[in-house]
Amino acid sequence: MGKIVRPQGPIVCVVGARPNYMKMAPLLRAFARQPDIPGVVLVHTGQHYDVSMNARLFADLGLPPPDINLEVGSATHAVQTAEIMRRFEPLLDELQPSCIVVVGDVNSTLACSLVASKKRTPIVHVEAGLRSFDRDMPEEINRLVTDQLADLLYTTEHEATTNLAREGIDTKRVHFVGNVMIDSLREHLAHAVSAASTLGNAGIDPSIASAPDGFGVVTLHRPSNVDNPDRLGEALAVLRDAASRLPLVWPVHPRTRANIERFALTGMLKATPIVLLEPQGYLEMLGLLSAARLVLTDSGGIQEETTALGVPCLTMRENTERPVTVSHGTNTLIGRDSVRARACVAEILRTGGKRGCIPELWDGHAAQRIAKHLGVWLTAQAVALHSQS
Ligand code: UD1
């Protein structure tokens, strides 16, 4: 047996877009507490750059400012992915990391994994194995490829492990650890900003937060819902319908806001109790979600957060890569079907809707489990390397 050697080189942790931040924040904290984990270099690709999509969330989550920002900005998928790869490659040459850690399924996750795999740098993918089985979703392509390349795959639900096994991925590389996004939620929930304050700060009547039937929260940004005028029109019709039953509060993603204007659909929101807000900080979103009577969304993370909070979630998609939120949680898939949406909203107002239960290991300690396992793994890698030399 070889001598124990401490792994050399830092861990390069990659973030690029909003949903990455709440996953990476608990990991960075857990890595700092784990003695056999080397130092961390935090790389931001710059995929998201608006203050409301980016800096504000860093502050809310207690994330340190990135050590390096690749400042790629927005572009087509191919250009954005290529640009991240072009800028990430020399960084890996310089840093010679012991591994890279990527989270989720955004373009930055895929781009950095591709670069690392060609450099033979180990890839750790947190939130591996989720599948919508819908290749029209750009994230599905990112998930499939990243998981094929990853050396260590940490999963949030059992279904993910089954998906990876089906794709021929060695189950020895796969570890069910729970959900780091829920680590963040549990850590910050007590500091959430109240819904009334968020509305008041935006110059909106805060009494909406205490409307007799409660209020709903909306988020919508998937290309499948917002990039086509007909589909966006259908989605807005669903929201208008729901708003005839209870007021809706909608922090609007910049992509969606731009498309509502481009497709001349602003009229559909006129004279409705739908309150449009700028994208909100993490603590504001937690306050809104936790106080909501129901949530209408096409976000992946919000399906999980509502399950963790026990708030009914109507997901405006035909599928989900997070089936545990439907089987165990509070999630219901409604697509853009306004008849179904109307029935679900009425049911929630009448009965309170799906109560659900908390999925296994969504207990606030997923990052700790990952840090512990990764520390042992890196040490074993170093030992193996040393005994070969
Ligand atoms: C990305 C992720 C998606 C994630 C979402 C969360 C991919 C393929 N998609 O989608 O999985 O759920 O982030 O928000 O990685 N824009 C701004 N300011 C910004 C960022 C974007 O105005 O800071 C606008 C730009 O017009 C841009 C558009 O939003 O072209 C799309 O941004 P992009 O990062 O390509 O994808 P998202 O839709 O944000």
**pLDDT tens figures, 295-352:** 999 999 999 999 999 999 999 999 999 999 999 999 999 999 999 999 999 999 999 9
Work out which ligand 1 atom sits closest to the CA atom of 54: 23
Mean pLDDT (whole number) for 142-166 = 98
- φ and ψ at residue 154, rounded to 5 degrees: -100, 125
Sheet with strand 248-251: strands edge to edge? 274-277, 248-251, 216-219, 294-297, 313-315, 331-333
Question: What length does the chain have?
Answer: 389
Q: Is the pLDDT of residue 7 over 90?
A: no
Helix axes 77-95, 107-118, angle to 10 degrees: 50
264-288 pLDDT, tens digit each: 999 999 999 999 999 999 999 999 9
Copy the structure tokens of residue 106: 């955004």
Work out which ligand 1 atom sits closest to the CA atom of 222: 38
**Cα–ligand 1 centroid distance for 48 (angstroms):** 6
Query: In the chain, what is the straight-line distance between the N-terminal and C-terminal CA atoms, in Å?
Result: 13
User: 0.75 cut: is pTM over it?
Assistant: yes
Q: How confident is the model at residue 388 (pLDDT cuts 50, 70, 90)?
A: confident
pLDDT over 90 for what percent of the chain? 95
Side chain identity at residue 96, one-letter code: Q
Nearest CA to ligand 1 atom 7: 106
Q: Which of 44, 48, 221, 253 is catalytic?
A: 221
Side chain identity at residue 198, one-letter code: T
52-66 pLDDT, tens digit each: 889 999 999 999 999
- 266 in Cβ contact with 260 (< 8 Å): yes
188 is catalytic: no
Average pLDDT of the residues of the chain: 96
Residue ranges of alpha helices (H) inside the chain are 18-33, 55-61, 77-95, 107-118, 138-149, 158-166, 180-188, 195-201, 223-226, 229-243, 254-262, 282-291, 300-309, 324-327, 338-351, 366-388
pLDDT at 6: 44
* Nearest in space to 11 (alpha carbons), one of 36, 104, 180: 36
